[in-house]
Structure 1
Amino acid sequence: MRWVFRWIVRGSGETRPLDVYDVAFLAGGPRHVVDSAVTALHQRELLVVQSAQVHAVEGRQPLHPVERAMVVFCRRPTGIELVRAVLERSPEVEEIGRGLATWGLVAGGERQMTPAGRRHLQEARLDPRMLEYVFPHRTPRWEGAAPRPAGQSRRRSGGNRRHGGPGPGLDSDTHSGGE
């Protein structure tokens, strides 16, 4: 029965907006979804990354399922490679792949991008509101991050956007439901 649903959805012409983690999956697969979540949480100071260790910060809970899974998994300092290995196979990341397959954007066991997926990814690349770290063209900002000196606050700039500056009506929490 599932294949019938997929065919109906694909043939219906319906679309749904892709969130940051859908685009990350299209751009680089499950591992890139995890790296994007680390980057997002690190930028929002909900996760600390030091010396290849990741540790969640007590406080607000993110709304996106992938981010919640990350925070729960990283309650204690955890090596980034273990975080990647476990979370890229987590139900939350798998659900992103299943959703993209249902919409005809990826196919097969390896979740290879379809022509429709490539079109959506290209549209996302051109969207000035899309967060820069979603595209795996460079090392994530948190890799090799040195701890901040005590008493020094983190500067906040809108420079995390692909085309510089925040896009209209979107902030860095857009992908997590606008905490």
Structure 2
Amino acid sequence: MIWRHVSAAERRLDAYEVAYLAGGPQRVLETALFALRDRGAVTVVGPRVRAVEDADGPDEHPSEHPVERAVLASCPRGRSLTVVAKAVRGGPEVAEIERGLVSLGLLTRARHRLTPAGRSQLKAAREEATLPAYVLDGPAAHRDRRLRRIVAGTAIPAGLGRSLIRMGRAADPDYDYDYGSEDGHDPDSASGTHSSSEPGGFSCGSGGGGGGGSD
């Protein structure tokens, strides 16, 4: 059997890969929280998230993605959303998504910025319009106003992003926490993600309703 390399153009990205291109680890986390909550697999009450143990068994709300399973595993009896967010963003599941996107040539190796191919994939995903709007546009695109405020609150607070960069560089000159700044990623932005409305950027304007819930 002859194996051949599958190019980025040939490979269909899943929702979490698109989420990473749109807003990095934070957008992956947001996507998982919205997807799980909309399916009834977790409850989000105030600052806490809890995996739902359904009476019909653990497969009642099956999780199809490693990131979702990581969220569920982190809060079986309820836990601070901030703690869960930190663990998932820095977890091996998100790191694996990053490595895959780098190998496909959609992110640069050194700083994990969007490449032209990455911007093209992100633009194609937006034009295809088959994913929930929050995957591309973040919390502002979810219809549940209360939930989107809570999930948006998991982002790194304004001002902290640059402080982390300075601290990292002081300890290690080769340290790089500036995810995608060349393409509009701003660690000090409100969501910790893109701030540009161009392909490869994040617009704070609401997208189409994605996922369940209501005001």
The two structures have a TM-score, normalised by structure 2, of 0.60
CA distance in 2 between counterparts of 1:135 and 1:68 reads 21
In 2, are the aligned partners of 1:52 and 1:144 still within 8 Å (CA)? no
Structure 1 residues 77 and 143: CA distance shift in structure 2, 3 A: farther
Partner of residue 88, structure 1: 89
Is 1:119–2:106 an aligned residue pair? no
In 1, are the aligned partners of 2:102 and 2:112 still within 8 Å (CA)? yes
CA distance in 2 between counterparts of 1:55 and 1:29 reads 24
User: 3-state DSSP class of the match of 2:137?
Assistant: coil
Is 1:143–2:148 an aligned residue pair? yes
* Structure 1 unmatched runs, 5+: 1-7, 146-161, 166-171, 173-179
Partner of residue 66, structure 2: 65
Kindly state the Cα deviation for residue 108 of structure 1 after the two structures are TM-superposed.
2.8
Identical amino acids, percent of aligned pairs:
37
Q: Tell me the number of residue pairs that the alignment of Structure 1 and Structure 2 aligns.
A: 142
Kindly state the Cα deviation for residue 128 of structure 1 after the two structures are TM-superposed.
2.4
In 1, are the aligned partners of 2:49 and 2:79 still within 8 Å (CA)? yes
Q: RMSD over aligned Cα, in angstroms?
A: 2.4
In 2, are the aligned partners of 1:50 and 1:144 still within 8 Å (CA)? no
* Structure 2 unmatched runs, 5+: 151-206
Structure 1 residues 138 and 57: CA distance shift in structure 2, 3 A: closer
The amino acid across from 2:37 in the alignment is: H
Partner of residue 111, structure 2: 110
User: 3-state DSSP class of the match of 1:113?
Assistant: coil
Kindly state the Cα deviation for residue 114 of structure 1 after the two structures are TM-superposed.
0.6
User: 3-state DSSP class of the match of 1:38?
Assistant: helix
The amino acid across from 1:45 in the alignment is: G
User: 3-state DSSP class of the match of 2:148?
Assistant: coil
Structure 1 residues 13 and 80: CA distance shift in structure 2, 3 A: closer
In 2, are the aligned partners of 1:105 and 1:114 still within 8 Å (CA)? yes
